[in-house]
Amino acid sequence: MSAPAVTPDWAFEREHWRRGFFRVAGVDEAGRGAWAGPVTVAAVILPGLATEYPFRDSKQLTAAQRETLAAEVRRVALAWAVEHAWPEEIGRLNILGATHAAAQRALARLDPAPQALVTDYLKLRTPLPLSAPPKADALSYSVAAASLLAKTERDRLMAELDTRHPGYGFAAHKGYGAPAHRAALERLGVSEVHRRSYAPIARLLEEQP
């Protein structure tokens, strides 16, 4: 019997509320492990009313559920923003550096600005009070909300890339190292949206005449 899904709450946000920081931004990313496309980071400030929301870690939901809940996040949030780091930036900064850079861009776009942060183990360099527990996307409403926006926006982009670069199957596997993706790379070669700094892609480039 599988363990029940964890339900998020406000525990991490409350730590900041008690210190007088009421605009707490949740931050999460999607696509760090993919071989192609961007890494996408979302930041969300929810109203600090300790309201229960249906938001959950995006990995626990179907695509249709994610789309419905992402629309609800955009409706209720005090502020939200989504930013991308594309393969060139990932190659230049490495995946962690590019994720941090996209997170900082998303946070800079929030209006009103956040007073504190909760991230999914993303230890950002920031003057703001920061909580960065592991699995925060399953534990914190704010981070779950950010996970929904990051995942749905990245999936939308990968579907667009599928039409611009047909044959790779981006809409299906979202750029991850699925067998169909590996087979397409052998057949078609490396595209401009592949992450050339990633070992499987770098090996293919070395093997190409």
Both tokens of residue 201?
């892609």
Q: What is the CA radius of gyration of the chain?
A: 18
Residue 16: φ, ψ to 5°: -80, -40
Which candidate, 203, 199, 42, places its Cα nearest to that of 119?
A: 42
113: Cβ contacts below 8 Å, ≥ 6 apart: 23
29 is in an annotated binding site: yes
Pair 17, 24: CB distance under 8 Å: yes
- The type of residue at 182 is R
120 is in an annotated binding site: yes
Question: d(Cα 137, Cα 9) in Å, to the nearest integer?
Answer: 11
Question: d(Cα 29, Cα 37) in Å, to the nearest integer?
Answer: 13
Cis peptide before 4 (omega within 30 of 0): no
Pair 159, 171: CB distance under 8 Å: yes
Pair 187, 165: CB distance under 8 Å: no
137 is in an annotated binding site: no
Which candidate, 154, 183, 26, places its Cα nearest to that of 86?
A: 154
Could you list the residues known to form a binding site for a divalent metal cation, using ranges: 28-29, 120
Could you list the residues known to form a binding site, using ranges: 28-29, 120
